[in-house]
Homo-oligomer: A and B are copies of this chain.
Amino acid sequence: MNVGAVLPLVLGISLLSLLVAALLARHVLSADTGRPEMRAISDAIREGAEAFLSRQYRTIATLAVVAALLIFGFYFVNRDVKNIAEMGAGVVWKITLSFVTGALCSLIAGYIGMYVSIRANIRTATAAMTSLNKALQISLRGGAVSGLSVVAMSLLGVGGLFYLFGGMQDYRHVPLQIVGFGFGASFVALFAQLGGGIYTKAADVGADLVGKVEAGIPEDDPRNPAVIADLVGDNVGDCAGRGADLFESTAAENVGAMILGIALYPVFGMGGILFPLLARAFGLIATMVGVFSVRCREDEDPMRALNRGYLVTTVLAMLGFAAAVYLLLKPAAGFGGEVRQGYLLAAGIIGILTAFAFVLITQYYTEYRYRPVRSIAEASRTGPATNIISGLAVGFECTGLPVLTVSAALMGSYWCGKMALGGIPGSGLYGTAIATMGMLAPCAYILAMDTFGPITDNAGGIIEMSKQPEAIRQKTDRLDAVGNTTKALTKGYAIGSAALAAFLLFRAYLDEVTKITGSEIGVDLTRVPVFVGGLLGATLVFVFSSMAIKAVGRTAQVVIAEVRRQFRENPQIMQGTAKPDYARCVDIVTVGALKAMVAPGLLAVLTPVAIGFLFKYLSPYGHLGAESVAGVLMVGTIAGILMATVMNNGGGAWDNAKKYIESGLFMVDGQVVGKRSEPHKAAVVGDTVGDPFKDTAGPSLHVLIKLLSTITLVLAPLFI
């Protein structure tokens, strides 16, 4: 394949995907919107979500403008320093422009996800009144709008900037200039995920504690003033937040893999640098086919239909990956050695299998068919304390298998890379980069399944609140249950890809530093500044988690106070004769969440910067600014992967232990122990504890990990 044709092809496929996303959106929006009472609820959700997003975006935009100015300033002041001058002409503007573009695209990605989901919810609910298949298709296609556009935009952004900055001519510098794109994306994603995550769980915990526990009314009961805020939360947390999160994943990893490709320019030429983009573009095509292939029989488990679509996507993605390998990863003119492409493809397959393994492991730890969740249900028999203890034990335990998987994938793909290129320097690491690309090939489909979650959750809420017949509710409940599973799977997938990608991004960072200084650096933990960096990086993960969790608690307290006030001041609400003031609750959570997201976000951004500058100038420790930041990055990443796994899977396991008891399958001495029993009450406590774990702190940690990488990539030249 002519290398000159790759970028146009990638950009063409990306535009096609955006077109398909637009058509899907039109298809979803053209569906029926059901009864007026349902519309009333859906409208309230939409208004609340849009109000939150517009306020949140104003805050984030302000922060991003400040960050852009600082980046511009740092680079401008140091523009004549050798490090920076060597990054190519116009680097000051280009880095800043990349940052701004990345930030903007990330905001748009979040917005698209939410725009469709808050409109797909009522249409799914309405479709469920006639056909499960139709409801499934509307919700999945609504999700796919988000999945396709997120991945397409990241390709357009990275590919477009690469083209614009003249990457085809100046392959050596341009990838370093577009690292700002990844940083912009993760900067926005961090705040989007934090703000959304705090919102959704503060509303949820607040609504549950006063509603279910104090007032004794069921979940999603329209008498609860916080119930709309709770439904809004699903959209702003899961759709907008996760959209920005996965946008930045794909963006950062594209850039990182391209930087690693530079090192192998003598081997593959331009093909090695453009390979990540083409592999991802083929993955988009695979996703489109996969999404259109999903349909289910009325009596079938919708999860099986989704899994079939995933399988179709994966198989096609693998074929596309193979095509990309054979088209681009071949010896460049002038390379004397041999390239064994089979090994490169094998590295990609390792990545795809790793994605599968993560999905299986997540299922094992979070579904009630298996031992871990059942052990939590069992422990609930002796009360909330033992429920919590066993949930935490499951959370800590569940780090084992994912880490073994990642370790095996790293080692296996490293070996493949070495074998492919006869062990030349950089070949092993390019193998791990290819594995990361493989893991991310079906990314758009995974994201579609993820956004499917809040859509079906909302659909269920709308049906419940508008008091539709039991038969319809059963259908939406089935979809909702599937949505819970897919949400858990996405998190497992996101953390797995973060783990693999982290290694890729470190390496890119070190390659960049090496290119700038001309001498190889290592991250030697036996040096005091590097060790201190590592220690602080790991601590950052813990303190950040604490702040995120506390933010939920604090915001939830405000919600609780407001709901209690409404119940007290207007007793007609509980009698069902007066409508509660939903809007005020939505408002209160919005203000609370936005205030609370700033501190942890800034902590995450400022810690590596502070450490880098500190050790740059402290001479007794050897001016190890770049190395100590690398310590922050690597040990912080390890701690982040582990803590995120604990929180995601622990939270999911608690949730499903409660669902297991509610399902009527939990037996003690031959008797069914179900809803409203003592073990159920204990399980509700566990579920509530798990909420900020799995929906606020855990997902924010994914973003934190990648933010650490992208921020160090952008600021590396300043630390040397």
Interface residues of A (CB under 8 A from B): 205, 209, 213, 379, 382-386, 388-390, 392-397, 399-400, 403-404, 406-407, 410-411, 414-415, 418, 423, 428, 432, 503, 506-507, 510, 522-526, 528-529, 531-532, 534-536, 538-539, 542-543, 545-547, 549-550, 552-553, 556-557, 560, 618, 620-621, 630-631, 634-635, 638-639, 641-642, 646, 684-686, 688-689, 692
- Nearest B-chain residue to A388, judged by Cβ: B689
- Nearest B-chain residue to A689, judged by Cβ: B388
**A407 partner residues in chain B, CB cutoff 8 A:** 532, 535-536
A414 touches B553 (CB 8 A): no
**Nearest CB on B from A667, distance (A):** 17
Q: Give the number of times this chain occurs in the complex, counting copies.
A: 2
Residue of B393, B542, B560 touching A546 (CB-CB under 8 A): B393
- Nearest B-chain residue to A528, judged by Cβ: B414
30 A–B contacts from the bound complex (CB under 8 Å): A209-B383, A209-B386, A382-B557, A383-B685, A384-B384, A385-B684, A385-B685, A386-B553, A388-B388, A389-B553, A390-B553, A392-B546, A392-B549, A393-B553, A397-B542, A397-B550, A400-B543, A406-B535, A407-B535, A410-B531, A415-B620, A506-B525, A507-B526, A524-B524, A525-B525, A531-B634, A534-B635, A538-B638, A538-B642, A542-B642
- Nearest B-chain residue to A687, judged by Cβ: B385
**Nearest CB on B from A636, distance (A):** 10
Complex formed: what's the CA distance from A183 to B631 in Å? 29
**A542 partner residues in chain B, CB cutoff 8 A:** 396-397, 399-400, 642, 646
**A213 partner residues in chain B, CB cutoff 8 A:** 383
Residue of B390, B411, B620 touching A550 (CB-CB under 8 A): B390
A209 touches B382 (CB 8 A): yes
Q: Please report whether the interface of chain A is mostly helix, strand, loop or mixed according to DSSP.
A: helix
B209 touches A399 (CB 8 A): no
B382 touches A560 (CB 8 A): yes
**Nearest CB on B from A423, distance (A):** 8
Complex formed: what's the CA distance from A500 to B389 in Å? 30
- Nearest B-chain residue to A378, judged by Cβ: B557
A549 touches B389 (CB 8 A): yes
Complex formed: what's the CA distance from A538 to B403 in Å? 10
- Nearest B-chain residue to A521, judged by Cβ: B526
**Nearest CB on B from A504, distance (A):** 11
Complex formed: what's the CA distance from A612 to B523 in Å? 20
Question: Which of A543, A546, A547 lies at the interface centre, i.e. has the most chain B CB atoms within 10 A of its CB?
Answer: A546
**Nearest CB on B from A579, distance (A):** 25
Closest 6 CB pairs of A and B: A396-B546, A385-B688, A522-B524, A397-B546, A403-B539, A523-B525
**A621 partner residues in chain B, CB cutoff 8 A:** 411, 414
- Nearest B-chain residue to A646, judged by Cβ: B542
- Nearest B-chain residue to A549, judged by Cβ: B393
- Nearest B-chain residue to A428, judged by Cβ: B528
B692 touches A389 (CB 8 A): yes
**Nearest CB on B from A499, distance (A):** 8
Complex formed: what's the CA distance from A389 to B388 in Å? 10
**A684 partner residues in chain B, CB cutoff 8 A:** 385
- Nearest B-chain residue to A552, judged by Cβ: B389
Residue of B209, B560, B685 touching A388 (CB-CB under 8 A): B685
**Nearest CB on B from A582, distance (A):** 21
Complex formed: what's the CA distance from A393 to B635 in Å? 21
Residue of B392, B535, B556 touching A638 (CB-CB under 8 A): B535
**A686 partner residues in chain B, CB cutoff 8 A:** 385
- Nearest B-chain residue to A634, judged by Cβ: B525
- Nearest B-chain residue to A692, judged by Cβ: B389
B506 touches A526 (CB 8 A): yes
Residue of B379, B399, B543 touching A553 (CB-CB under 8 A): B379
Complex formed: what's the CA distance from A535 to B392 in Å? 20
Asked whether A411 and B534 contact (CB < 8 A) given A539-B399, A542-B396, the answer is no
